[in-house]
Structure 1
Amino acid sequence: MSDSRTLDLELARKVLGEQPFSRLLGARVTAFGDGEATLELDLREELLQQYGYAHGGVLSYAADNALTLAAGSVVGSGVITSGFTIDYLRPATGAVLRARARVVRAGRTRVVCRCDVIAVDAVGTETLCAVAQGDIAVLEPSA
């Protein structure tokens, strides 16, 4: 299902880097391709809420971008989030927030993806904090 517009890791990083909000958060693409994408960001104090947990908006941001990146790895860069749902399972604490997304089904005009949002502590232990599912609209359908 890939076409000549399918992104590679370097281009995915460039696209993310062009988003001012992603730069503000310090987000980075750490894995990309074949219908999957992983986005990470360091959990620093500015991203926490009053109880010391990562703010829900930060988890939503990570899921949203990972879902869209995963879709882009299959259908190309002309994609945008149409909608997504997120379920928060437990508070996110630790050193890094990791969002791993994968394509469930890629169609001509819409891609459905799922995402696990994971908090990683200082020794590398992962804790699942949220799950999301999204519809990604294809702005430039393949011929």
Structure 2
Amino acid sequence: MGHYPTGVAAITSVAADGSPLVLVVGTFTSVSLDPPLVGFLPDRRSASWGAIEQTGRFAVNVLGADQAALCGQLAGKGDKFAGVDYSLSGRGLPLLDGCLLTIECTIASVQDAGDHVFVLGAVEEMAVRREGNPMLFLRGKFGGFTAQV
């Protein structure tokens, strides 16, 4: 499956104590336009996903190809938000500065999917934050999209 490119997104939320939560995924997808639904597939053992699931809501932050350093930090260990610029939306969800698109959701369902779970999100709000080249992940490396036509 490493030969199939995927987009890269940071799934964010806020813990009960007010601290920001984040999980970087390469499995984000649009599911339905009517009603608007999106989905992603975190590893069922992910502590970050477990914390986000408890909140019942999340924001998808679609990363640009120029945000590799941010992606690495958010996917790492320790204080993932140290020095990271973000703002809280009207719904209280962290929206990362510089991302291409944000989508705020409530968790509609979580289904078993082998060693992962499939998270279905009901879209509450969506905004294009800037135009740009999306970050892609292919064969263990990050990159961008190059149009051929």
* TM-score computed with the length of structure 2 as normaliser: 0.29
User: Which of the two has greater helix per residue?
Assistant: 1
User: Which of the two has greater strand per residue?
Assistant: 2
Question: Larger relative contact order (C-alpha < 8 A, sep ≥ 6)?
Answer: 2
* TM-score computed with the length of structure 1 as normaliser: 0.30
